[in-house]
Chains A and B, each alone.
Chain A
Amino acid sequence: MTLMKSLMGAAATIALTAGAALAEPALIFDLGGKFDKSFNEAAFAGAQRWAEETGGTFREVELQSEAQREQALRRFAEAGSNPIVMAGFAFSDALSQVAPDYPDTKFAVIDVDWLDLPNVRGIGFQEHEGSYLVGMMAALASETGTVGFIGGMDIPLIRKFACGYAQGVMAANPDAKIISNMTGTTPAAWNDPVKGSELTKAQISQGADVVYAAAGGTGVGVLQTAADEGILSIGVDSNQNHLHPGKVLTSMMKRVDNAVFDAFTQGENLESGNFHMGVANGGVGYALDEHNAALVSVEMKAAVDAASAKIASGELVVHNYMSDDSCPALKF
């Protein structure tokens, strides 16, 4: 193969992508796929919102294999996409290899805030803060004094959710009992609603009457079973209150959509560095809408909003599991 041929190949690629402005942004979904009702779908929603508001277009790809992480990054970078946004911590390794090769392209990656590269924007969420708030609500809504947590894959990130949740529960009711289960230790745990349902039943038999699912697609099974068995559940990432109106206490909102929207809006001038999205800047929070208004009492709302204000002002610091791999309120 000659250089000429590879140039022609590149020219063909550009010809194929022509018809739109060259610097259109790109979004790469993780292996879980675009429509997971949770994390990836939130990213897609943000991109859609940007496209509707600005009339712009964006490239997107759902990966099929590990080898394609680097491939997709390089292909989009070479085709002139800018910025390129990735959903998921699994991109950190590939991105740290690719980003230095394309200094003029801006990258944004969600759930990664430890890379230190001049053209990378890392967006980490303070999920423990949002989980703290819904933990308080769980404890206040519980009649048995026992609440449950169902995590997806057992990784530090999910323990961070569980730990914040447990701290919130303890703050509202120091005598509460917390049952915590993880669905599994592989990525399959993100999409196992059947096991989520079984774990929910097991937790109910142990007395839990509110369960919080931080488990991606597995959470669909948790919420379904909780609704069927007549207990309350708490959704995650996206607002899942509408899935079972009147049965979902609230949802811990992780505004992945806003992160993608912001990155797309800033475009080629994307500000790099690591950003931490917490309660203070609206990155996380709890969902209140017509589907759960009847479940949230005035006292509950007042208590949570007070805690929220304290966290935002820095008066109340929720312990982050990932800072020292331990949790004062929950044992794993």
Chain B
Amino acid sequence: MEKMPKWADVVLIPLISLLLAAAISALVILAIGEDPVAAVKLMVDGALGSTYGWGYTLYYATNFLFTGLAVSVAFHARMFNIGGEGQAMLGGLGAALVCLYIPWPHWSMALAGGAIGAAIFGAAWAAIPAYLQAKRGSHIVITTIMFNFIAAAVLNYVLVNVLRPAGSMDPATARFPDAVHLPTLHELLAPLGIEFSKAAPANVSFLVALAACVFVWLLIWRTKLGYEIRAYGKSEQGALYAGISPFKITMIAMLLSGALAGMMAINNVMGEAERLVLNSTEGAGFIGIAVALMGRSHPFGVFLAAILFGFLYQGGAELALWTKIPREMIVVIQALVILFTGALDNMVRMPLEKIFIAFRKGKA
């Protein structure tokens, strides 16, 4: 069967999808009586026009990088991990426990400890659905999404009954000690003579997320384990014939996926809030699915998609601050992008494929 060139698959389709989403968003903004051109300008200015904007864009992008990578790794083993949200929630709990109960002498050690704690909790939360899938054939989509609700209930119980400081109304932990404060990009770049906005929450975990991208790329395309994961994802029968254990691959892929999702906590819990609040993940686990789909499960694609969604989040916040566009409308714009890049992928792909094939035949 004939195929499109790779550049069309990787660049053209997401781009057209984005343009379609943008066009419909513009119509929606027009319909409520606001100026779409001014809105776009405000979003771009607010998200990319200053180091402050970049600081927030990168902060959100860091969250989406972790969850996007998490979904990608599971995708390579042909598993749809919808549980990133719950795994990230539990990761937050792991990071919070590590920060609250271990007296860290320096932030770098706290970062390592927090990342490990978050990864272990996230992986543990993914382990049960993974085991059920591998041994019992319970479908991973169903179990992981159910585990999101259980995670919310667990977190709720722990925050309300165990970790909440006495007399506090917020279902949240106490503030972490100052020693575990992760340096923000402002603090990291100041010694290099680069001015970066002090208010923005982007922090050192962005670099950790980039390292995680490289790690996932190495793992999937440069190691035996990665080959086994991909082989299993392409064909379970073939993998079995090659001596690859489906149980082992299912477990490992899901544990890795859960650990990556959990590690998001070093950004939103340790880096930004510096305490664990109830809805700290705020849907990043689900955005991760869109990010992975859009990024074609490749770490570099995930990186670009994560930046795009970071831009949408921060740009959306600017819209909410400075215009009368209601926040529901901003969610609509974000949803349109997800809809077009994720769910309606084939709507663009199929006609485009036909065009390419027709074009080629015409040439031949």
Interface residues of A (CB under 8 A from B): 1-3, 5-6, 8-10, 12-13, 16-17, 33, 59, 61-68, 70-72, 74-76, 78, 89-90, 92-93, 154-157, 185-187, 322, 325
Contact = CB atoms under 8 A, between A and B. Distances in A.
Given A89-B170, A185-B160, A65 B278 contact: no
A74 B49 contact: no
Contacts of B157: 185
Contacts of B320: 61-64, 68
15 contacts: A1-B195, A3-B195, A5-B49, A5-B50, A6-B195, A9-B50, A33-B327, A59-B321, A62-B326, A70-B199, A70-B201, A72-B317, A72-B321, A155-B169, A156-B169
Nearest to A77: B199
B56 interface: yes
Nearest to A33: B327
Given A93-B170, A185-B156, A67 B59 contact: yes
Interface stretch (B83-91, B93-101, B269-277): B269-277
Contacts of A92: 170
B196 A1 contact: yes
A157 B51 CA distance: 40
Given A17-B322, A61-B321, A6 B282 contact: no
A83 B50 CA distance: 25
Given A2-B195, A156-B169, A9 B45 contact: yes
Given A1-B196, A9-B51, A13-B45, 15 more contacts: A1-B54, A2-B195, A6-B51, A8-B50, A9-B49, A9-B53, A13-B46, A16-B322, A59-B321, A62-B327, A63-B320, A70-B201, A71-B317, A93-B275, A185-B157
Given A156-B167, A186-B278, A67 B201 contact: yes
B197 A6 contact: yes
Given A89-B170, A156-B167, A156-B169, A1 B317 contact: no
Contacts of A157: 169
A16 B38 CA distance: 10
Contacts, number: 105
Given A6-B195, A17-B322, A71-B56, A66 B51 contact: no
A32 to B, nearest CB: 12
B280 A66 contact: yes
Most chain A beta-carbon neighbours within 10 Å: one of B59, B320, B330: B320
Contacts of B194: 1
Contact of B49 (A12, A61, A89): A12
A57 to B, nearest CB: 11
Nearest to B38: A16
A12 B45 CA distance: 8
A186 B156 contact: yes
A113 to B, nearest CB: 12
B62 to A, nearest CB: 12
B171 interface: yes
B50 A1 contact: yes
A92 B277 CA distance: 13
A65 B59 CA distance: 13
A65 B282 contact: yes
Contacts of A16: 42, 322
Contacts of B279: 66, 187
A92 B275 CA distance: 13
Contacts of A76: 321
B175 A6 contact: no
Contacts of B171: 155, 185-187
A92 B166 CA distance: 15
A322 B168 CA distance: 10
Contacts of B152: 186
Contacts of B326: 62
A2 B49 CA distance: 11
Nearest to B314: A71
B331 interface: yes
A64 B167 contact: no
A40 to B, nearest CB: 13
A72 B319 CA distance: 12
B220 to A, nearest CB: 31
Nearest to B198: A101
Interface centre among A10, A16, A154, A157 (most CB of B within 10 A): A16
Contacts of B52: 6, 9
A182 to B, nearest CB: 11
B316 interface: yes
A3 B198 CA distance: 12
Contacts of B49: 5, 8-9, 12
B268 interface: yes
A92 B156 CA distance: 20
A157 B321 CA distance: 29
Contacts of A322: 167
The 4 closest A-B CB pairs, nearest first, are A9-B50, A1-B51, A155-B169, A3-B195
Contacts of A90: 170
Nearest to A98: B199
A199 to B, nearest CB: 19
B345 to A, nearest CB: 26
A213 B36 CA distance: 43
A64 B268 CA distance: 15
Interface in B25-77: 42, 45-46, 49-54, 56, 59-60
For A9, A75, A89, the residue with the greatest tally of chain B CB atoms inside 10 Å of its CB is A9
Nearest to A73: B199
A59 B60 CA distance: 25
A154 B164 CA distance: 13
Given A12-B45, A155-B169, A67 B272 contact: yes
Contacts of A155: 169, 171
Contacts of B60: 67
Contacts of A67: 56, 59-60, 201, 268, 272-273, 282
Nearest to B56: A71
A259 to B, nearest CB: 18
